[in-house]
Amino acid sequence: MAETVYILCALTSVACAVLLLRAWRRTRMKLLLYSGLCFAIFAVNNVLLFVDLVLIPAGDLSLARTVTSLLGSGVLLYGLIWDVS
Protein backbone atom coordinates (compact mmCIF):
# COMPACT_ATOMS: atom_id res chain seq x y z
CA MET A 1 0.00 0.00 0.00
CA ALA A 2 2.79 2.43 0.93
CA GLU A 3 4.52 1.78 -2.41
CA THR A 4 1.25 2.52 -4.23
CA VAL A 5 0.90 5.90 -2.48
CA TYR A 6 4.52 6.86 -3.27
CA ILE A 7 4.20 5.79 -6.92
CA LEU A 8 0.89 7.66 -7.25
CA CYS A 9 2.51 10.78 -5.74
CA ALA A 10 5.28 10.55 -8.37
CA LEU A 11 2.86 9.92 -11.26
CA THR A 12 0.45 12.71 -10.30
CA SER A 13 3.28 15.23 -9.88
CA VAL A 14 4.65 14.27 -13.33
CA ALA A 15 1.14 14.65 -14.78
CA CYS A 16 0.77 18.11 -13.15
CA ALA A 17 4.17 19.20 -14.51
CA VAL A 18 3.41 17.97 -18.05
CA LEU A 19 -0.07 19.55 -18.15
CA LEU A 20 1.14 22.89 -16.73
CA LEU A 21 4.16 23.09 -19.08
CA ARG A 22 1.98 22.15 -22.08
CA ALA A 23 -0.47 24.90 -21.10
CA TRP A 24 2.50 27.31 -20.81
CA ARG A 25 3.69 26.40 -24.34
CA ARG A 26 0.21 27.20 -25.63
CA THR A 27 -0.48 30.41 -23.70
CA ARG A 28 3.04 31.66 -22.68
CA MET A 29 1.64 32.64 -19.27
CA LYS A 30 4.56 33.02 -16.84
CA LEU A 31 2.56 31.62 -13.90
CA LEU A 32 2.09 28.32 -15.78
CA LEU A 33 5.84 28.11 -16.47
CA TYR A 34 6.79 28.56 -12.82
CA SER A 35 4.05 26.17 -11.63
CA GLY A 36 5.19 23.59 -14.20
CA LEU A 37 8.84 23.90 -13.13
CA CYS A 38 7.76 23.65 -9.49
CA PHE A 39 5.91 20.38 -10.16
CA ALA A 40 8.80 19.03 -12.27
CA ILE A 41 11.05 19.49 -9.21
CA PHE A 42 8.33 17.92 -7.01
CA ALA A 43 8.39 14.93 -9.38
CA VAL A 44 12.13 14.55 -8.69
CA ASN A 45 11.32 14.85 -4.99
CA ASN A 46 8.75 12.04 -5.25
CA VAL A 47 11.16 9.79 -7.14
CA LEU A 48 13.68 10.41 -4.33
CA LEU A 49 10.91 9.55 -1.84
CA PHE A 50 10.33 6.18 -3.53
CA VAL A 51 14.07 5.46 -3.70
CA ASP A 52 14.55 6.50 -0.06
CA LEU A 53 11.63 4.66 1.55
CA VAL A 54 11.13 1.65 -0.75
CA LEU A 55 14.27 0.86 -2.76
CA ILE A 56 16.96 1.75 -0.17
CA PRO A 57 15.19 1.78 3.23
CA ALA A 58 18.54 1.61 5.05
CA GLY A 59 19.78 4.82 3.40
CA ASP A 60 18.65 8.31 4.35
CA LEU A 61 17.78 10.76 1.58
CA SER A 62 15.60 12.96 3.79
CA LEU A 63 17.88 15.99 3.46
CA ALA A 64 17.91 15.66 -0.35
CA ARG A 65 14.09 15.38 -0.29
CA THR A 66 13.77 18.51 1.85
CA VAL A 67 16.19 20.42 -0.41
CA THR A 68 14.22 19.48 -3.55
CA SER A 69 10.96 20.52 -1.84
CA LEU A 70 12.55 23.86 -0.95
CA LEU A 71 13.86 24.26 -4.49
CA GLY A 72 10.44 23.50 -6.05
CA SER A 73 8.44 25.79 -3.80
CA GLY A 74 11.24 28.40 -4.01
CA VAL A 75 11.04 28.48 -7.82
CA LEU A 76 7.27 29.06 -7.67
CA LEU A 77 7.60 31.66 -4.93
CA TYR A 78 10.30 33.48 -6.94
CA GLY A 79 8.00 33.52 -9.95
CA LEU A 80 5.03 34.70 -7.89
CA ILE A 81 7.01 37.54 -6.31
CA TRP A 82 9.20 38.78 -9.20
CA ASP A 83 7.41 37.86 -12.41
CA VAL A 84 3.69 37.40 -11.83
CA SER A 85 2.60 39.88 -9.15
Partner 1 sequence: MLKTLLDGAVMMAYLSCALFFLRFHRQSRDRLFAFFSLAFALMGVHNLLTTVVGPDLDAERRYFLFVVRLVAYLLILGAIWDKNRAGRGTR
| Residues near partner 1 (CB under 8 A) | 1-2, 5-6, 8-9, 12-13, 15-16, 19-20, 23, 35, 39, 42, 49, 53, 57, 62-63, 66-67, 69-70, 73-74, 76-77, 80, 84-85
What's the CA gap between 48 and 76, in Å, rounded? 20
Q: For residue 42, which of 10, 6, 2, 76 has the smallest C-alpha distance?
A: 10
Q: How far is the CB of 56 from partner 1 (least distance, A)?
A: 13
State the minimum distance, in angstroms, from the CB of residue 7 to partner 1.
10
Q: How far apart are CA 9 and CA 18, in angstroms?
A: 14
Exposed, middle or buried: residue 20 (CB in 10 Å: 0-12, 13-18, 19+)? buried
Whichever of 56 and 70 has its CB closer to partner 1, that residue is 70
Q: Nearest distance from residue 41's CB to partner 1, in Å? A: 12
